[in-house]
Every structure is written in C-alpha cells, then in structure tokens.
Amino acid sequence: MDTLLTSISLALDCFSVSISNSACPNYVRKDALTYATSFGFFQSFMLLSGYSFGLLLESYIRAFDHWIAFLLLLFAGVNMMRGNEVKSAMLLILSIATSIDALSVGIALSLLGLEIITPSLVAGGSSFLLTIAGYCLGSRLRGMGDKSEKVGGLILIAIGVKILMEHTLG
C-alpha cells in the first residue's frame, strides 16, 4: 500500500501538467499517449537511477533538486504562456521536471535497503495512467481559447513554486 501511495503522489505532478497541456488549443489527441509514455518512463527511470546512485549522489541531489524542477517548470510555463512551445523539447523538460522527486525517493529507498523493481513499475504505471486522466480532464477545458495557454503556463509555474516551497520551507 505504501508503494501505491508513494507512486500516486509522485504521479500527481504528471496529472497536473497533463491537464494544463491538454487545455491548450494546439493539443493533439495523440499527445496524451506520447506524454503518458514519457512521464511513465521517466518516473521509473529516475526511481531506478536514484536507487542505483544511493549514497553517492544523495547530498548533491537533495541540495538543489527542487531548484532544478522549479526552473524547468518556470521555463516551460513561460514558454507555454508566450505560445513558444517546441513539442520535443517541452516533452523532455516536463518529463524531467515531473520526475525529479522520483530520483530522491529512489535514493531514500536505497538507503532503507528496500526493493526497487515493484515501486519503479508501479510509479511508471501510475504516472502513465494519471497523465492520460489529466489529458482527458484538461481537454474539456479547451473552450477557453487563447486563455488556456496562459492558464496552463501559470499551472506549470505554480507546480514549480509548490515544489520549491515544499523543499525550502520543509
């Protein structure tokens, strides 16, 4: 049960980002599957990477992971608001930004000596499914026209600020 709850909490950023993306006028239905696959892959990959590096990177990653996530989401949000989205670059940036926390969780799991394969698969699957759900929900907001890109960009920036505050304020 802890694995599922942890995986869902990691996937909530993917859900939020997919809502903001699919509300934009330039959203294409196939984007949902592309983003879900990328987000799911990166969640699993980052958990495995964090676990693999364990103690080696812990002090380095925890010191600034929230800043990386914040800056990536700020960059993506501002570009979305300006309508400057480049899909492949945006996909990579958002995939990394939404999975930074998974890297830290992977490190924690290695320090606790826990198994990683099941959490990695569940996190990837949860992220995939919640991204699809977010795209379904966000596509219903598309009637907002050009304002949806601005709202979507603000949502990404808000997620970045939330991550930053959680890590700096405790």
Torsion angle defined by CA atoms of residues 40, 82, 150 and 12, in that order, rounded to the nearest 10 degrees: 20
pLDDT per position as a tens digit, 56-111: 766 676 777 778 878 888 888 887 777 666 678 889 999 998 898 898 888 888 87
To 5 degrees, how large is the angle CA 59–CA 128–CA 158?
60
The residue among 75 and 48 whose pLDDT is bigger is: 48
pLDDT of residue 81: 74
Give residue 55's pLDDT band: very low, low, confident or very high (50, 70, 90).
Answer: low
Q: How far apart are CA 84 and CA 128, in angstroms?
A: 25
pLDDT of residue 65: 74
pLDDT in tens, 106-149: 888 887 888 899 999 999 999 999 999 999 888 877 666 556 66
Place of tokens 């907001």: 141
Domain ranges of the chain: 2-169
pLDDT for residue 150? 75
pTM of the model: 0.79
User: Any idea what DSSP says for residue 24?
Assistant: S
